[in-house]
Amino acid sequence: GPEVVAGPSADPKCFVPWADSTKFFKFPAKAGPYRVALANGYIANTWRIQMIQTAKAYAAQPDVAARLKEFKVVSTGEDVAAQIAAVNNFIDSGYDAIVVDAQNPEAFKPVVRRARQAGVVLVAFDNILDTEEAINVDVDQKGLGVYWAKWLVDTIPNGGKILEIRGVAGTSVDRDRHDGIHETLDKSGKKWDVIEVYGKWDDPTAQKVTADAIAVQKHFDGFTAQGGDTGAVQAMIDARQPFVPFGGETENGFRKFCAKYGADGLKCASGGTGPAQVAVAIKTALAALEGQVVPQSVKLPLATAEYPNFKDGVNFYSNLSDNFFVGNSFPTCGINFNAAEIMGQSKENK
Amino acid sequence: MTTQARSRRGGALSSRLDRPVVVAFACIVALLLLGSLYSRSFLSPDYLLQQLKVASFLGVIATGALIVILLGQIDLSVPWLVAVGGMMATAATAWGPIGAWLAIPFGVACGVALGLVNGFGVAYLRIPSMIVTLAVNAVAQGLMVVHTGGFSPQDSSSPAMRALATGSLAFGLPNAVIVWIGIGACAVFVLNRTTFGRSVYGIGNRERAAYLSGVDTQRIVLLAFALAGGLSAFGGVLLAGYASKAAQGMGDAYLLPAIASVVLGGASIMGGRGSYLGTVAGVVLITLLQSILSVVQMPDAGRQVIYGAVIIGMLLLYGREGAAR
Amino acid sequence: MSDWRYALAQNRATLISVAFFVAMFAIYASNHPAGFSANVVETAANKGVLLALVAMAQTFVVITAGIDLSVGSVFVLSNCLASAIVVGSAGHAALGVLGVIATGAACGAVNGLIVIVGRLQPIVTTIATGAIFYGLALLLRPTPGGDVYEPLADALTGRVFTVVPASLVALAAVALAVWIPYSRSALGRAAYAVGSSEAAAFMSGLPVASAKASAYVLSGLTASLAGLFLTFVTYSGEASAQTGGSYTLYSIAAVVLGGVSLYGGSGSAIGAIFGALMFRTIGDLLFVFNLDPLWQPLFQGVVLLVAVSLGAARLFRVRNRLELFS
Amino acid sequence: MTESEQGPPILRMEGVSKRYGGVRALENANLAVSAGRIHAILGENGAGKSTLIKILAGVVAPDEGRIALDDREVAFGAPADASRAGIVCIFQELSLVPDLSVADNIAIVNPPTRFGMIDRRAQRRVAEAALARAGAEDVHPMALVKDLPLSRRQMVEIAKALARAPRILILDEATSALTAADVAKVFVVLKRLRDEGLALLYISHRMHEIAELADECTVFRNGSNVATYPAGTKSDAEVVELMIGRELSAVFPPKPRQRTASATPLLDVRRLSWTNRLRDVSFHVETGEVVGLGGLDGQGQRELLLALFGVLRGVTGEVRVAGRAVAPASPHAAKSTAIGMALIPEDRKTEGLMLPMSVGANLSFAALDRVSRAGVLDRDREGKLVRQMMDLLAIRAGSIDIPVGALSGGNQQKVVIAKWLMAEPRIILLNDPTRGIDVATKQEIYQLLRKLADAGAAILFYTTDYSELIGCCDRALVIYDGAIRRVLVGEEITERALVASALNIDSDTGVVAGGAS
Ligand SMILES: Nc1ncnc2c1ncn2[C@@H]1O[C@H](COP(=O)(O)OP(=O)(O)OP(=O)(O)O)[C@@H](O)[C@H]1O
Ligand SMILES: Nc1ncnc2c1ncn2[C@@H]1O[C@H](COP(=O)(O)OP(=O)(O)OP(=O)(O)O)[C@@H](O)[C@H]1O
Ligand SMILES: [Mg+2]
Ligand SMILES: [Mg+2]
């Protein structure tokens, strides 16, 4: 297992500790090149596909490739037990570091223990692990909710009726973002009436529930969505609901709409962390393997853009897919994928 | 004996209304009235048209499910055939001006192709449909993942797809509903007035007897699955038009509702019995139920419980098998 | 034909699934970077046993010519429940285990009641009850979490005699304690009879209702054992609709791969268990072959398609085409 | 009624009625059964015999009426109740479970158990004993029922009933698929049971069986009992009149004079072989000819019909239709106009009909090409043809829209025949088409066959009933072990000749060559 040491970390600009109390790890330095594995769960959506493309692209960058002996990716589907088995297999097969996008953040206690015993560096991202024993590269999900709500509070002068389009029930991401939104709204002192629907982070579903809500409620003063935002805007357009402020995620399609209709009232705050966070996770893993000091919990910055700052080719891409997630730059970590790079990656390989 | 007691004719020689269909439509009205206690808007034309529009996607998909269920089979490949339809159509849109024309037929054709694989497995390899279609679903998912990752595909819908799914021609009637009516009319015709339809009912009732009657059962089954695949994909095309883009998970929410609406409409899951009108009722019921539960702010847990309980309650009203004696 | 030829013919489907599993696992283990080690087997076993139990649950109902699309939900519900009540002291945890099992059996009883008394088709009944059970799971665990009595979890996911995975021992125990006595009892055979021909079973004066009811109750019970085991593997509970849905569908695949007829009346849970282990090994093959990550789902789909198509080989031996229709 | 030689009835049914929708299956029916007697029930198809039995067995609940057992009124809620009261029934639709073994089936109700589990050794002993008692030692107790031919299943069904030690044993056309040899064995058993003091109810459409077996007969017509009399006190003609309410002329239509063989027979089969079940079968059927297939059951007759109809795979040899070589690979191909074949299958419930579908839809199902254009049905034409066929075969159905499963067995069988006639075949293959059919209907079918032959069809007719071979066929092919053993022409077709060649007893030496396989 790693030694718990005092901060700061080797690269304090990139590896920002989550809180003042965050521990710092120092693993015994190993000689490279390393065998690193990515244990992904579900794969069949754009976010995950993009994430895997990014991981491959990052691992192929010359300075990273030089430090890697092997980079292996396995996707095990929805089933958390299969993912646990995959991580165990990686441990047994002698990989030096394992990067995980967990299906269920709570389910990895035994795995974390096993990795520790085997001296394997375990780094979780996106859905981080509920543990202080492994490294988490963490998005501030609650902070994202706070960000959207704060922006709505600032943009809508007198409060009003908000449609909150939630994600998948039963997940911690959904809960954290929801909590962030509500705490902020409640504290604002304005009067808010929030209607909640579940859009499952999916455009058609979000569109359908939004359309239903508009048909029944007639009018909203603001929107906030955790995903499926493009669909939600589409539903506004289809229902001829006048454009109102919208705090949402970082889908390319959403930003396209925001750029196009911003002047007509669709003022947006678009924030989130794109799939490129996998690169930060790999970077962290490599740093740990090399014996550098890293925080147990790394706080990822949010990639945000607000009305009227949507610029084609910079923070959205009109010629690319709507499903593409745009928040891919972490300048403090020297990670700055542009869209074409990610989407074109395997085309060049093939 | 159990089958005879409450049996319905297949291939309608008469067009008397089924009891399940009548009750299902009554349930729809009851549901709306119940909803209107929460908000008058549930009875507004806007809301109802919106529901019909959304129902038409499920309606198109459930049409395929009905045909397969009438055969006594089941199609579990719906989720990813829907996705294939939407994603392939939008991908074709990128092929310049021809692409815009080809988009819809191409998407549907891809669904038909995978449907043919289903049908081939069921009819010629005699693998239980539940499992071939499951495998084909997995293959379709695999293909779409490769497709998304490897070809940075276009996934915005063509204007034609948009118009088909969201536009409206006359009297504010959404085009999607018109498309559904068209497909429904074809389905009713095919099931009731053609040798194909009659054969489907026959095979669903007793495949062995149909085979010995000189019906080319294998070809019929193959065709039925191809048709179902095409309809799933077309549902995906419409859905992509509605959302103005295609995405991988877009079909996930359609498998169980499609089966449930067919059965809520009075069809027997064992095959050979069921009508299109019933399926229409089932589709509207499911759509309304989901929508109302979503709008009345029911937490997700409660929504699931009520959704399941209402389906069972309604089936107990009219969907029961005959008693053993 | 002599006796053993009949016995062989009647167990052929099960034996084939065993053979296929052994062959596939041999390919997997011999290509595994860590080789055929106790760790590798334990990992595979802990994962395989979950699906094996769910497949066994599915088998009970499929034997009666029904289908249980709520097994996945019962599995998830039991997982959530176990993560809340199989905690604390040993005694408390033991009571919790009983509570989980009882809940699973109750879920099965609800299904059985609706199918038998309500006379609804099993497939829709269980779609609907599946939603209800999932809703309850969500009520219990709005977000992932919970805990489990660790000594028990560690014992059951570890090894006995340092080499044999405890999970396999537990699976064998469940098969011996639940499946064998049931399938050889008069009630179990009535369940087979009902699945083969309900009319004939009724006319023969068999207890059709209790045969079906027992199948559904045992299905729920076994599914809850799987949920319990998931809790032991993950130390937590999660109300995941995806997990429920995929386990339900995989259980059907496993049952078919294990030679259980979806038309009812034939097959055994032993076959289904090996079908499940085989299905899991398909997933494991990803690990030993170096595939582009984006091609992995396609690879799995194609292997599954090929595996289920292998059953078609028997068609070449069919001389009388009418045999295809039974 | 004389009750001198018998005790008081142990079972009485009084004023029993049962309606299915508008159909009166039973109307104020009465029946009394005594111990130590075999009581036959006669009646045309749809007279209500099976319904009566089902009520007695607890399968169907009567609308009104009472049942008294040993003078105590009883009401059976389920077959298990009747079974407990000692009433065991062999139903017209078999009640065997296809996926279970013979032994499992025989011991299905009360299997011997040890520690709560079925004791398979004991069960096997029970099964072997029951099979031996029924005279079916050739059935292996571990064989699956679904793998057995129909005639063996009937024997298993009988064994199963015997194993349950009944007080009252009911056989509803339980011998309809059995050959004479099996029937003889079963009769020995039944007579012994009677002598042991059981009450037996026996339903059959075979008059000679009833003559041989019954002590007492009750005739049903239109759901009511019309007469009860001691066996042997009425002539066949009188009985038939009681059953159908009118006199019946000669049973078989007259045969035409012998023809000379033509150069190109309509159906010409040469050296047809299939696995080890058919060996070098060569024969022909002329236009206008009815050729019978005889022999013991299960000697390959069914396979021969299936091979011609394109159902079997790996058939070798040559088949010519009107001089042209054909090799249909499916019934679809065999039905095509180029070949024009029809097969009336063995089991109407699983092979001939879609029971829940309407009578009309069933009738037109094999002739969909005839009632459609470019795949679109012409409903007027369909309705017309359907009604034509219903009239032609005098099918009794409330309407063409009711499910065919609601018809009586005999009427269902007529629907099977009619649906194939609607397809206008040239070559008609029949697989035991009169099984379970009453005398009057049988007669209609014989006449129909002759009419079809006269109109230019070639008919190949397998039957387990010798009298049909004798009465109906121009020639009879006797099959033994997959090969044609003997061809009998015209007057040569006699029961003696048929039995001798069926058993493969060479009429010259009188030596039996091998047993049944
Ligand atoms: N389940 C049913 N539903 C509707 N009608 C029925 C049903 N069963 C029997 N019937 C009708 O009841 C009448 C008596 O039928 P039943 O089977 O008792 O005749 P049967 O005397 O046994 O004739 P067969 O000699 O043909 O077997 C027939 O008209 C039949 O159509
Ligand atoms: N399904 C069956 N139907 C008929 N007979 C059977 C069946 N199964 C087994 N038998 C016969 O019953 C006897 C006992 O069978 P078997 O040897 O399988 O059981 P066993 O050895 O007592 O039990 P076990 O399987 O627990 O070892 C054998 O003679 C066997 O041929
Ligand atoms: Mg009868
Ligand atoms: Mg009959």
Same domain, D132 and D153: yes
* A15 DSSP assignment: S
Domain boundary among D229, D244, D259: D244
- Res C69: pLDDT: 94
Whether B135 and C305 have beta carbons less than 8 Å apart is answered as yes
Whole-model pTM?
A: 0.88
Query: Which strand (E) or helix (H) includes residue B321?
Result: none
Looking at the CA of D411, which ligand is closest?
1
Q: Which residue has the tokens 């029937």?
A: D183
Q: D79 contacts in C (CB within 8 Å)?
A: 202-205
Q: Per residue in B288-314, is it b (16+ CB within 10 Å) or e — as a string?
A: bbbbbbbbbebebbebbbbbbebbbeb
d(CA D158, CA D173): 11
CATH of the domain at B253: 1.10.3470
Q: Could C192 and D99 be called an inter-chain contact, meaning their C-beta atoms sit closer than 8 Å?
A: yes
Tell me the C-alpha to C-alpha distance, in Å, between residue A120 and each of A10, B81, C38, D360. 20, 41, 19, 74
Give percent of chain A above pLDDT 90: 44
Sheet with A3-5, edge to edge strand ranges:
A3-5, A24-26, A293-295
State the smallest CA–CA distance between residue B299 and chain C in angstroms: 9
Residue B160, C-beta contacts closer than 8 angstroms, at least 6 positions apart: B100, B101, B103, B104, B241
Q: Concatenate the DSSP letters of all residues of A27-83 into one string.
A: PPP--SSEEEEEEE----SHHHHHHHHHHHHHHHSHHHHTTEEEEEEEE-TT-HHHH
pLDDT at A348 over 50: no
Neighbours of chain C (3+ CB pairs under 8 A): A, B, D
Structural domain including D386 reads: 348-424
CATH of the domain at D499: 3.40.50.300
C200: contact with D, CB 8 A cutoff: yes
Whether D33 and D199 have beta carbons less than 8 Å apart is answered as yes
Whether A30 and A252 have beta carbons less than 8 Å apart is answered as no
Structure-block tokens of residue A218: 């007639």
Which of ligand 1's atoms lies nearest the C-alpha of B1?
1
State the smallest CA–CA distance between residue D471 and chain C in angstroms: 32
Give B265-270's long-range contacts (Cβ < 8 A, gap of 24+): B265/B20, B265/B21, B265/B24, B265/B66, B266/B18, B266/B19, B266/B20, B266/B21, B266/B24, B266/B318, B266/B319, B267/B66, B267/B69, B267/B70, B268/B69, B268/C121, B269/B69, B269/B74, B269/C121, B269/C123, B269/C124, B270/B72, B270/B204, B270/C121
ipTM (interface pTM): 0.86
Amino acid at B204: G
Q: Do chains B and A touch (3 or more CB pairs under 8 A)?
A: yes
Same domain, D89 and D203: yes
d(CA D406, CA D390): 16
Q: Could B39 and A216 be called an inter-chain contact, meaning their C-beta atoms sit closer than 8 Å?
A: yes
pLDDT at A321 over 90: no
3-state secondary structure D195-241: HCCCEEEEECCCHHHHHHHCCEEEEEECCEEEEEEECCCCCHHHHHH
Same domain, D314 and D441: yes
d(CA B296, CA C299): 43
- Alpha helix (H) residue ranges in chain C: 3-10, 12-31, 38-63, 71-85, 90-116, 122-140, 150-157, 166-174, 180-184, 186-196, 198-203, 208-234, 241-257, 269-288, 296-310
Q: Which residue has the tokens 């085979």?
A: B211
Pocket of ligand 2 (CB under 6 A): C 3; D 101, 103-104, 120-121, 124, 141-142
d(CA A145, CA A166): 11
For residue C209, how many other CB atoms are within 10 A of its CB?
17
Q: C298 contacts in B (CB within 8 Å)?
A: 139, 141-143, 145-146
Question: From the CA of D443, how far away is ligand 1's center (Å)?
Answer: 20
Pocket of ligand 1 (CB under 6 A): B 4; D 20, 23, 25, 43, 45-51, 92, 406-410, 436, 438
Per the DSSP assignment, residues forming a β-bridge with A195 are: A163
Whether A36 and A120 have beta carbons less than 8 Å apart is answered as no
Q: Which residue has the tokens 């294939």?
A: B84
Tell me the C-alpha to C-alpha distance, in Å, between residue A82 and each of A107, B59, C279, C289. 11, 36, 12, 17
C239: contact with A, CB 8 A cutoff: yes
Which of ligand 2's atoms lies nearest the C-alpha of D104?
3
Structure-block tokens of residue C289: 């072959």
Per the DSSP assignment, residues forming a β-bridge with A329 are: A336
Q: Could C124 and B307 be called an inter-chain contact, meaning their C-beta atoms sit closer than 8 Å?
A: no
Angle at D138 between CA D136 and CA D141, to 5 degrees: 85
Question: Taking CB atoms and an 8 Å cut-off, how many pairs form between chains A and C?
Answer: 132
Among D100, D111, D314, beta carbon nearest to C192: D100
Structure-block tokens of residue B273: 């019995």
Among C3, C203, C320, beta carbon nearest to D142: C3
D454: contact with B, CB 8 A cutoff: no
Q: Which of D205, D273, B323 is nearest to C118 (CA)?
A: B323
pLDDT digits (tens, 9 = 90+) for A52-95: 988 998 998 888 999 999 999 999 988 899 999 999 999 999 99
Domain boundary among D196, D228, D244: D244
Neighbours of chain B (3+ CB pairs under 8 A): A, C, D
Question: From the CA of D203, how far away is ligand 3's center (Å)?
Answer: 8
Question: From the CA of D46, how far away is ligand 3's center (Å)?
Answer: 7
Question: From the CA of C202, how far away is ligand 1's center (Å)?
Answer: 19
d(CA D516, CA C183): 36
Which of ligand 1's atoms lies nearest the C-alpha of D44?
25
C241: contact with A, CB 8 A cutoff: yes
CB-facing half-sphere around the CA of D310: CA atoms within 13 A: 22
C2: contact with D, CB 8 A cutoff: no
> Band of the pLDDT at C1, cuts 50, 70, 90?
low
Q: Could B198 and D330 be called an inter-chain contact, meaning their C-beta atoms sit closer than 8 Å?
A: no
Same domain, D477 and D438: yes
For chain C, what are the domain ranges?
3-325
D368: contact with B, CB 8 A cutoff: yes
pLDDT digits (tens, 9 = 90+) for C37-93: 888 999 999 999 999 999 999 999 999 999 999 999 999 999 999 999 999 899 999
Structural domain including B289 reads: 3-323
Same domain, D38 and D94: yes
Q: List per-block mean pLDDT (blocks of 10 residues) for chain D, which spans 517 residues.
A: 61 90 84 92 85 90 91 87 89 84 91 89 93 89 89 88 90 79 86 90 85 91 89 83 73 73 86 92 93 85 94 94 93 93 90 93 94 92 93 86 87 92 94 82 87 92 87 91 90 83 57 36
Q: Which of D353, A30, C123 is nearest to B73 (CA)?
A: C123
Query: Which strand (E) or helix (H) includes residue D473?
Result: none
Same domain, D434 and D412: no
CATH architecture type of domain C3-325: Orthogonal Bundle (1.10)
End-to-end CA distance of chain A: 40
Give the number of domains in chain B: 1
Residue D254, C-beta contacts closer than 8 angstroms, at least 6 positions apart: none
For residues A123, A124, A129 and A135, what is the CA-based torsion angle, rounded to 10 degrees? Answer: 30
> What pLDDT tens digit does each residue of chain B (325 aa) get?
333 333 333 334 334 567 788 888 888 999 899 888 888 888 888 889 889 999 999 999 999 999 999 999 999 999 999 999 999 999 998 887 888 888 999 999 999 999 999 999 999 999 999 899 999 999 999 999 998 887 667 778 888 888 888 888 777 788 999 999 999 999 999 999 999 999 999 999 999 999 999 999 999 999 999 999 999 999 999 999 988 888 888 898 899 899 999 988 889 888 899 999 999 999 999 999 988 888 887 888 898 999 999 889 988 887 776 655 4
Q: Could C238 and A52 be called an inter-chain contact, meaning their C-beta atoms sit closer than 8 Å?
A: no
d(CA A116, CA A122): 8
- Res B237: pLDDT: 95
- Res B10: pLDDT: 39
By CA distance, what is B69's nearest residue in C? C123
Give percent of chain C above pLDDT 70: 99
Question: From the CA of A34, how far away is ligand 4's center (Å)?
Answer: 80
Cis status, amide bond into A308, omega within 30 of 0: yes
pLDDT digits (tens, 9 = 90+) for A131-179: 888 899 988 889 999 999 999 999 998 889 999 999 888 778 888 999 9
C287: contact with A, CB 8 A cutoff: yes
Q: Could A170 and B149 be called an inter-chain contact, meaning their C-beta atoms sit closer than 8 Å?
A: no
Per the DSSP assignment, residues forming a β-bridge with D90 are: D171
* C323 DSSP assignment: G
Question: From the CA of D89, how far away is ligand 1's center (Å)?
Answer: 17
Angle at C291 between CA C285 and CA C297, to 5 degrees: 70
Residue A183, C-beta contacts closer than 8 angstroms, at least 6 positions apart: A145, A146, A149
Domain boundary among D389, D424, D459: D424
Give the number of domains in chain D: 3
Helical axes A229-238 vs A203-217, angle rounded to 10°: 40
Same domain, D387 and D468: no
Q: Concatenate the DSSP letters of all residues of D422-446 into one string.
A: HT--SEEEEESTTTT--HHHHHHHH
What length does chain D have?
Answer: 517
Q: Which of B63, B224, B58 is nearest to B133 (CA)?
A: B224
Same domain, D161 and D95: yes
